[in-house]
Structure 1
């Protein structure tokens, strides 16, 4: 009997039109992913990772498994609920069928059909590799086990667990809505695990978080070659969810009964009295003449809307949903981490951003599920024919149900706002900015989801069942969000609901102009939503189930003057708002697609790269006049620059490349005439009347401006704002000679356009590159002088010393001049600043900040003073008489060091919460890092060659580490080093070009920042701080303010080897010249108490050393190094850990393999470890520390 029921159920579920449609959709998505090379979850086409590698197959299959939440309720819940919905359950239950046969037969049949449908995904991925237009280089040989493991080992256990849970819920509650609600809960749990680190990945029902954690450090070679397996964590996750599902299923099976107990309503006196009055009124036989006017319909709309909303608000699932949302939002709002997992103060703009980030996926899922429930509610309980017979127009039903969905969206967002304000109150923060909460949160943000609610309802109206409607909505949203990769759709006018216009918030710049583009887009979307609502109204099903074809035929006979007028009004709004958006994006601004940008770069290279090797003069003197008009979004520039022939050749032509966004008003070159002007590329060629001899000079003068207008299609211009304008010199001045930065760098794109590969940076052996620095190819150190003006009430600041300040005609003017040459690298800032002043050894220190952002100003000044003191002693004198820190709006999360001036984003230091003494002091660290650049960039500048950023960024990282250690002690640096190790290991796994040794770094931030900090700190630990500083001081002495040649990474390594001695050469080579990894772990640790009261500790340690190539292929080499061994009272990673918790920390020389170490100490340790402070690069440093066993 069981197999007969299962066979029938399988045929019923599998051989149907919805099954065919769903199978085609899943197959198509999987096929497109492989054949088209769609970027998915951070891994892109090409690079070093093959699309059909085991890693990529597993990643895509796991992510696609989330789609099964929209399918499982129908195939699994429907298997047991269709009898109840058709009222056939009474007949079925009265037959001599066994409970076992009925329950397991239905489950096995439905699950078998579901499994066959889902097999279309791996099949689609497999067949996609044979697509003729796919790029062969992106594929490797197909391995069957990869597909089988990903599908049967990773995906299907999740599907089985969810199926068992949903089937059990169907048996218990006998309601399809609760089945879908369980699916919704699973998706929200998945999002919660992804959003918050406070929830263990074990609770991820789809295993995505655990898979990401297990593979986060995999190199390209490992992602291509590793066999997919089952780690302890993966097995624990699978076991946990299967156990939960089995337990719930067992309970449901036990309590399920064929006997249906009729519910007897309790007598309600009030209700009985009401019914009696109603009966008496009916018996009066009153003559009623109903009037069906617009007023009546509006009253019906009000009643239906109230009914739909109360149906939602009073339902148990809604209360559970709000509970889930509470935890999701709470974790997101309390985990406002910036860099290095440091929290910010609870500013409204930050909390709004956290709400948006947490809810972006969750609200779409809620929409998909709830739209199905609300639209299908009457049909599910067979009440639709009674409702449909009522004299109520379709639009009343459609609008009221969409209003209920809008209520859900606003309720969830409002919950987030309430939690946010509560957190602000508890934190003592009282600037709530309710206008932003209401305007940006409840209106601007949420209305986009209301528009999506209309679309979701339309899909439910058109679909033959709720599952198909949900799946259509989800697939549509997936295609919409990936439209750029799949279809090349980039214009905002071709979007709906998502993606949105860029509209950031800033405390410093309260200008709301960034939201204007979004508001126009919402008006445009609103017109589309209105038209979709009309389509929903026209296709609204009434009475018996009608086919889509029948409803289309009915449209021919439908006539309504009001509907026609509404359609015309919406069409007018659609055209007018769309035209205005188009006018801004395509007329006032240039509309660039990704293809346009690529073609621009390709054409530039093909046309002008022929001039790359021509000798060109270099800029030696700069005088700038800059006028900033923040409210007009305009900057005017006039400049006089002196060009000098520093080559040994004569120069006959001079080439200039102006920024694309700058409008050139006039340009003149002494002793030359314009030979050609290419306005598309801003490329000017001047022919000299007389050749420019070596050492001779010419004066270049030009005038230009940047005028921002309207809004753009993509990222908005953030340089010129009402308060906090920030412009760099490269946005307003030309480059001399062919500019290589405009060429395409991506090797796959270059292949697509038929261009030869381009190295990221010149090789160290390329002597021509030694005469150029990596910041500017057309200048060295230059004399600099500037006058900058801005509106009254703001201060305009540029590098240099203030010579003169005056006011004229509601404008403020500032004249700055440098007393010595600087790098041709400077910026201008204009804002209404508060200023905090201090000094160190006669050097003036200033912090210019937004009035409300005084939280960390004193900390920045302290860091600046500490840094100046240490660096001046260790590396050499500071070259300026002042140091300024200038805040700019947090549209960029970065800090930039100009000569004697540091531009510092409000997002990374000014609003960071530094009250927790156990967190990394981010403002102190960033300030120290940027101050260090006054030595490493503005004294010693690196050549434009491999390793250049090591001399600038790595040395700045090291310098900041030393100052931090001096301030907080070495034990507090463990967390910083652990973070750097994690970021380095993650970064190398995503490098499409392949990793290089540190001394050959090609501007890869994960190498020069993350690995650089680890390497320099380890180096200092082994050879000594004074030794390293001696080499650095020698580097400064020999290369400060010098060019041709600029400093190379090999120069520093040479000084280092000389200072450290031959005994450390091998270590230096391992750290800088090779990609070296260490695998160290404590396998066993015991402590016994000796007779004298002391403690004997025994440790078994295992150590391995190996080298890796660019993509991660390993070669083991002998390990022979002294490594820190530590004994601790408290775990070094625990909160409050400090010097008093260290019992012993000293180095022991170890060789490859296992070694047993013994120590006698005075205190009983609780933890023992090898390299406990993560000084050496170990891919799995979690096994470096172990709890000591007591004997």
Structure 2
């Protein structure tokens, strides 16, 4: 698409640079010499960088800049160009004015002072120049007015300082209510009308709710939905008594207190539409093609919202805020009746009616019961046949589809017409994943699984009940022709399918470590599918990446590194370290024993909400049939921050074979083991473990290598220097200690040595 290069490089990149060049010339023209002109431009450039710190964040203050213009194959430039066009007109008009005035002030003949040249401006401009200057100035003012009207009158613009001040007030005024009992929704009947061309929607959710607490509920904080134009909440026995417009919240009071286990009905409604354009924070969820919104962003939600708190510890100290509680303590059983999705979320019965433009289809969790078209609108009715977590999405788009049936499960992939490259690979991953997870952990709870591509304004995949929205940027346009790279679409798909077990069948309690149950176990599950498909040797590159990401993450920890079983929203722990730790358990316990423990854990807590499980429950199942040595190893991976330093210090091999045809290989391995605290202070521990020693005929990092493992066995490794002598039939090229990344080694690069 050569036009993209012309448009992005020319219009969006080169034109602003030309404007900046005009400004630089103008500053030179009005300066007495070139050095002052350079200095003025440098001062301007520095001022641009620091203006934001003083509240001048709006693009109207930043010469030649405009609101962002992301591109998606699915949605094109969408609505983003409107604002960019106006900013281009605004700064372009000012640039024309500066160019005309600069030309009039240009040095002609002998050097003249600026005052002298100013007196000759009208003469040098000529009438045409004066008219052009006035017109450009009028266009600049008119465009500026329109930008101001759209971004500050029709739409709201909040500076970072104002937003931070609001966050401080929010926490100071409402944190006292964070543990108020909340109504728990049990049934949702959603009716949503999406108008893609207008970027508007109307939604009404008829709900049933209950009180799972041991005390009556009389008062509830309710928060407005994201980007909403208007919204309302109706619940039987109560009403809104106070609107907190600064915070986008209301106080809802039950005139008839909601008693424990009492069930009532209610209604949540929202209208979402967009007028004009914004300077920043444009809605990337509701778009012309590829709308994707989840219920947390779509509908009003209950209770104090921790995500709105200031996270930076230095900013918190500046505002005299207490130390941030990133997660409830693992041992605090008060939160065992809340799941990781939040205190007001549990399992629900779900059905939905979605309407959209006739040219688009709509998908939400559940099974399609009917589809009809009337007056240019297409209506879809979905209903789920089993309880799901109160976390669901709605998507509307014009896409192609491919559908297959596999062992009674309908697999569907919806994709942009030009993005068919990896669809078959995703389907293959779904098939392999469902087969493995069903055999290892228990049956898949649904009869279908759908993958839906959405615009790359957001770069992630997310698993909802039988539905996986998947960004075009992380799988659909991944180039898989280089077989030396990890197959990302296959892996990501396997991870998201694993969430149908870990997260949707069993969900962790709202305490430290909950992400281990949903994310670390999904990482392990996906890695096992990857191993079955590509072989154990191919996992090394992926695990090395995970190990490096963990080690990098812990160096940037702003608060305190927690042991894995107490992770507090620390992705480098429950994703990256979780992968390495779970594969270490697989190596130590074996696939059959580990999967049996996970299956028993899942069966015990499947769909359970009273209480939800914690990592303490998970560890008890992992240790159930383990020896004392294995239990210590499990604790090392989960309860301690355990770090190894394994180095293949020296290697040698005889030039010739002995009388029996063997080469003699001598290896020297240096080994240490430490436990670290949350601040990184390390204490050496005695090392006495069985660790892999391997010999290779090719570089093990080469994913294209085949049959390159000459020798691979576990050896008894202790602290200090270990000398190992091996006899092999084939002359090795590489030797490695823990070569497959099964332990958290601080420097895995020196695990390998070349002969």
**What interval of TM-score do these two structures reach, taking the shorter chain for normalisation?**
over 0.9
Secondary structure of the structure 2 residue equivalent to 1:779: coil
After superposition, the Cα gap between the structure-2 partners of 1:1102 and 1:523, relative to the gap in structure 1 and judged at 3 Å, is same
Deviations 1:596-628 (A, max 9, x none): 222222233333333333322211111110010
Residue 1014 of structure 1 corresponds to 580
Which of 1102, 1109, 1114 does residue 670 from structure 2 map onto?
A: 1102
Deviations 1:413-463 (A, max 9, x none): xxxxxxxxxxxxxxxxxxxx2332222222222101111111222344455
User: Displacement of 1:1151 after TM fit?
Assistant: 0.9
Matched, 1:1169 2:736: yes
Structure 2 CA distance for partners of 1:857 and 1:1008, relative to 1, 3 Å: same
SS in 2 for 1:898: coil
Shift of 1:666: 4.2
Deviations 1:470-505 (A, max 9, x none): 565455335424542x4332101011134x421111
Match in the other structure for 1:515: 81
Pair 1:1135–1:773, CA change in 2 (3 A): closer
1:892: Cα distance to partner? 0.8
Match of 2:266 in 1: 700
1:1115 to 669, 680, 683: 683
Q: Say whether residues 1:1153 and 2:716 are aligned partners.
A: no
How far does the alpha carbon of each residue in 1:575-601 deviate from its partner, in whole angstroms, 9 at most, with x for none? 111111111111221111112222222
**Corresponding residue of 2:61:** 494
CA change 1:617–1:666 in 2 (3 A) is closer
Task: Give the SS at the match of 1:559.
Answer: helix
Whole-angstrom CA distance in 2 between matches of 1:961 and 1:1027: 17
Closer, same or farther: CA 769–441 of 1 in aligned 2, 3 Å: same
Taking the aligned partners of 2:679 and 2:278, their CA distance within structure 1 comes to 39
Which structure has greater strand proportion?
2
Q: Is the 8 A contact 1:601 1:743 kept in 2?
A: yes
Partner of 1:67: none
Aligned to 2:748: 1181
Answer whether contact 2:30 2:114 (CA < 8 A) is retained.
no
Displacement, 1:732? 1.9
Cα displacement (A) at 1:915: 2.0
Deviation, 1:741, is 2.9
1:443 is matched with 11
- 1:752 pairs, out of 303, 306, 318, with 318
* Preserved contact between residue 1169 and residue 1186 of structure 1 (Cα < 8 Å): yes
* Partner residue in 2 for 1:685: 251
User: After superposition, where does 1:255-404 map in structure 2 within 5 Å?
Assistant: none
1:854 partner SS: coil
Tell me if the contact between 1:461 and 1:541 (Cα under 8 Å) persists in the aligned partners: yes
How far is the alpha carbon of 1:1171 from its aligned partner? 1.4
Q: Which moved more, 1:1077-1086 or 1:896-905?
A: 1077-1086
Q: Cα distance, 1:1110 vs. partner?
A: 2.2
- The answer (yes or no) to whether the contact 1:454–1:529 under 8 Å persists in 2 is yes
- Greater alpha carbon shift after TM alignment, 898-907 vs 1063-1072: 1063-1072
| TM-score, with structure 2 as normaliser | 0.96
Query: 1:466: Cα distance to partner?
Result: 5.1
In the alignment, what sits opposite 1:1143?
710
Aligned-residue Cα RMSD (Å) equals 1.9
CA contact (8 A) 2:27 2:40 kept: yes
| Alignment partners' CA distance in 1, 2:77 and 2:96 | 30
From the two aligned structures, give the one with the greater helix fraction. 1
Give the alignment partner of residue 427 of structure 2, picking from 861, 866, 878.
861
Q: Which residue of 2 aligns with 1:452?
A: 20
> Are 2:225 and 2:231, in contact at CA under 8 Å, matched by a contact in 1?
no
Q: Match of 2:433, SS?
A: helix
Aligned mates of 2:450, 2:461 — CA distance in 1: 13
User: Is residue 1090 from structure 1 mapped to residue 636 from structure 2 by the alignment?
Assistant: no
Task: Give the conservation status (yes or no) of the 8 Å contact 1:662–1:731.
Answer: no
CA distance 1:1096–1:466, change in 2 (3 Å):
farther
Q: Secondary structure at the match of 2:692?
A: strand
User: Paired residue for 1:393?
Assistant: none
Give the superposition deviation at 1:767: 1.7
Instruction: Output the CA distance in 2 between the equivalents of 1:640 and 1:605.
Output: 31
- Structure 2: unaligned runs, 5 residues or longer: none
Give the whole-Å Cα distance in 2 for the aligned partners of 1:630 and 1:511: 14
* 1:762 maps to 2:325: no
- Deviation string 1:955-1011 (CA, Å, 9 cap, x unpaired) is 111110000000000111111111112212222222212321111111111111111
534, 556, 559: which is aligned to 2:122? Answer: 559
Match of 2:520 among 942, 954, 959: 954
Q: In the alignment, what sits opposite 1:604?
A: 170
**Change over 3 Å in CA distance of 1:666–1:1079 after alignment to 2:** closer
Tell me the distance in 1 between the aligned counterparts of 2:120 and 2:36: 28
- Residue 815 of structure 1 aligns to a residue in which SS? strand
Report whether the alignment pairs 1:902 with 2:444. no
In structure 2, which of residues 143, 146, 152 is the aligned counterpart of residue 577 of structure 1? 143
Query: Is this contact kept in 1: 2:22–2:98, CA < 8 A?
Result: yes
Distance 1:1162 1:1003 in 2: 50
1:992 and 2:555 equivalent? no
1:1041-1093 deviations in whole A, cap 9, x for unaligned?
11132111121111111233222122111111111111111121111023323
**Counterpart in the other structure of 1:637:** 203
- How far apart, CA to CA, are the structure 2 residues paired with 1:502 and 1:557? 41
What per-residue deviation string (whole Å, max 9, x for no partner) do you get for residues 872-899 of structure 1?
1111111111111111111111000000
- Give the equivalent residue in structure 1 for 2:221: 655
- The yes-or-no answer on 1:710 pairing with 2:273 is no
CA distance in 1, matches of 2:221, 2:504: 27
The equivalent of 1:332 in structure 2 is: none
Tell me if the contact between 2:403 and 2:410 (Cα under 8 Å) persists in the aligned partners: yes
The alpha carbon displacement at 1:1121 in A equals 1.5
Q: Say whether residues 1:830 and 2:393 are aligned partners.
A: no
Bigger Rg, which one: 1
- CA contact 2:70–2:77 (8 Å) conserved in 1: no
Contact 1:720–1:726 (Cα < 8 Å) also in 2: yes
Normalising by structure 1, we get a TM-score of 0.61
Structure 1 gap ranges (5+): 1-432
Question: Structure 1 residue aligned with 2:493, among 904, 917, 927?
Answer: 927
Q: 1:1078: which partner in 2?
A: 644
Structural mapping, 1:186-197, within 5 Å: none
Mean CA deviation greater in 1129-1138 or 1043-1052: 1129-1138
Question: 1:1059 and 1:522, CA in 2 relative to 1: closer, same or farther beyond 3 A?
Answer: farther
Alignment partners' CA distance in 2, 1:590 and 1:827: 26
Inter-partner Cα distance in structure 1 for 2:305 and 2:121: 64
Equivalent residue, structure 1, for 2:92? 526
Inter-partner Cα distance in structure 1 for 2:549 and 2:105: 53
Distance 1:1009 1:535 in 2: 58
Aligned counterpart, 2:622: 1056
> In structure 1, how many angstroms separate the alpha carbons of the residues matched to 2:74 and 2:468?
17
- After superposition, what is the alpha-carbon deviation per residue over 1:224-278, rounded to whole angstroms, capped at 9, x for unaligned? xxxxxxxxxxxxxxxxxxxxxxxxxxxxxxxxxxxxxxxxxxxxxxxxxxxxxxx
Match of 1:818 among 384, 389, 396: 384
Q: Residues 898 and 701 from structure 1, CA distance in 2 versus in 1: closer, same or farther, beyond 3 angstroms? A: same
Answer yes or no: is the 8 Å Cα contact 2:238–2:253 preserved in 1: yes
Structure 2 residue 485 is matched with structure 1 residue 941: no
